[in-house]
A and B are shown apart, each in its own frame.
Chain A
Amino acid sequence: MQASRARLFKEYKEVQREKTADPDIQLVCDDSNIFKWTALIKGPSETPYEGGVFQLAFSVPEHYPLQPPQVRFLTKIFHPNVHFKTGEICLDILKTAWSPAWTLQSVCRAIIALMAHPEPDSPLNCDSGNLLRSGDVRGYQSMARMYTRLAAMPKKG
């Protein structure tokens, strides 16, 4: 517990220091609980998520960084590796391939990379995965773009 707190505090300081280094990621620690974080990430350009801002929720376990943080999308997203209802993310580094070499910040970068490079063969959202697997890139992109507009962009007017 003490070790995880100390590590998270270092990450917190690093995030403060490097605030401008990564304009696509805004990582914020809960005011009262260092084990709860949220992040706003920008949808990568030249993807159907471009222009959208997606909110992630981090829940950090007691044995962090030996165990991975739990991360999910709070913003609805249509992506093969994100559960459409729960926002759960299927990403190896959040499961078996986790190591303390990752940080909350670099996890955000990995999630942005996953948005740009979906892995339709290990889908959590089968509808989305099936579109890509059957080669219907256009279908996948228009669905994903629609949900980006509906859920991840500020409403006009």
Chain B
Amino acid sequence: MRNKEPALDDGEVEYEAGPESCWGNFEDDDVMQQQFSIQDDEAKKFPFVGDKEPLSSLAAEYQSGSPILLEKIKVLDQQYAAIRRTRGDGNCFFRGFMFSYLEHVLEAQDSAEIDRIKANVERSRNALQTLGYPELTFEDFFTLFLEQLEDVIQGKETSISPEELVLRSRDQSVSDYVVMFFRFVTSAEIQKRSEFFEPFIMGLSNTTVEQFCKSAVEPMGEESDHVHITAISDALGIPIRVVYLDRSSCDTGGVSVNHHDFIPAAGDLPSARGSSDKNNPFITLLYRPGHYDILYPK
């Protein structure tokens, strides 16, 4: 290897930092390795996807906190049976969405839904190709997602149980790949409809649509915002409800919890899907500023 190097004067090939600069030895690579090891330590504290917990566990977090939040949690408690937490690693939206969707498919065993989602996945694949992404950069992520989708269909040798789905969602080699799959799908949708998304992106980050996707959608750990949620919901034709738990309150005295439904753009919905159906999201995420967890309606 070294002998192929362009010729140098003797003594010029000295790339290790000398002892005179101890900070010179501590480089970005080291910083990044340190960051990865901190992430590993965090990982041991909380899995990518937690167990189902009653909403009382949420209330316990705010015991000495804002009374508005405790009131709101009481309201939530009437509507929702459980919460499933996700790790706060910047991927929580996609991770929660992944688990919630696959769990839904596993429970519903709706073959029409599976065909529908597969068709949308292929549309995303084509969109990435059209945008000029080399196939090898994204195909492994697509394959892995489609495998998970196949495996939640019951009655086959490869079928998995709900418990196994939890385990896979905690296994980095599956979980991160599916999250990355969703990031590719989101990026493709935003770029495909860049005229639609551009004003929202300008408001968020003042960059071009392409730059936004490269820096805020595709890299793992980049947090999701309205733009991401709108795009993934549209791209896959999956409605998503986001329930907001924050300190906002209304002056009339009563406490209510706001939510927003992301309903896929009509054009992307298959005609077979009834209008009442599409207004009824089967994925519900609880948003607290900076974080998403999964909610289970009663």
Contact = CB atoms under 8 A, between A and B. Distances in A.
Interface string B139-181: 0110000000000000000000000000000001100110010
Interface stretch (A4-12, A112-120, A129-137): A4-12
Interface string B85-124: 0000000000000000000000000000000000000000
A66 B180 contact: yes
Nearest to B27: A88
Given A7-B136, A101-B138, A151-B8, A74 B184 contact: no
B137 to A, nearest CB: 5
B211 to A, nearest CB: 10
A85 B17 contact: yes
Interface string A55-82: 1010000010111001010111000000
B45 to A, nearest CB: 20
B27 A151 contact: no
A3 B173 contact: yes
Contacts of A103: 134, 136-137
A151 B183 contact: no
A99 B183 contact: yes
Contacts of A155: 7
A80 to B, nearest CB: 14
A85 B172 CA distance: 36
B18 A98 contact: no
A6 B140 contact: yes
A14 interface: yes
Contacts, number: 100
A76 B12 contact: yes
Nearest to B9: A150
Given A11-B136, A101-B218, A95 B6 contact: no
B274 to A, nearest CB: 37
Interface stretch (B28-36, B70-78, B233-241): B28-36
B16 interface: yes
Interface residues on A, range: 35 or more
A30 B1 CA distance: 9
A66 B184 CA distance: 13
A101 B6 contact: no
B5 A70 contact: no
A30 B15 CA distance: 21
B219 interface: yes
Contacts of B215: 92, 97
A154 interface: yes
B219 A96 contact: yes
Contacts of B133: 101
Given A99-B219, A151-B12, 10 more contacts: A7-B136, A14-B136, A66-B180, A75-B6, A76-B12, A92-B215, A95-B32, A99-B220, A100-B180, A151-B8
Interface of A: 3, 6-7, 10-11, 14, 30, 38, 40, 52-53, 55, 57, 63, 65-67, 70, 72, 74-76, 83, 85-88, 90, 92, 95-103, 124, 150-155
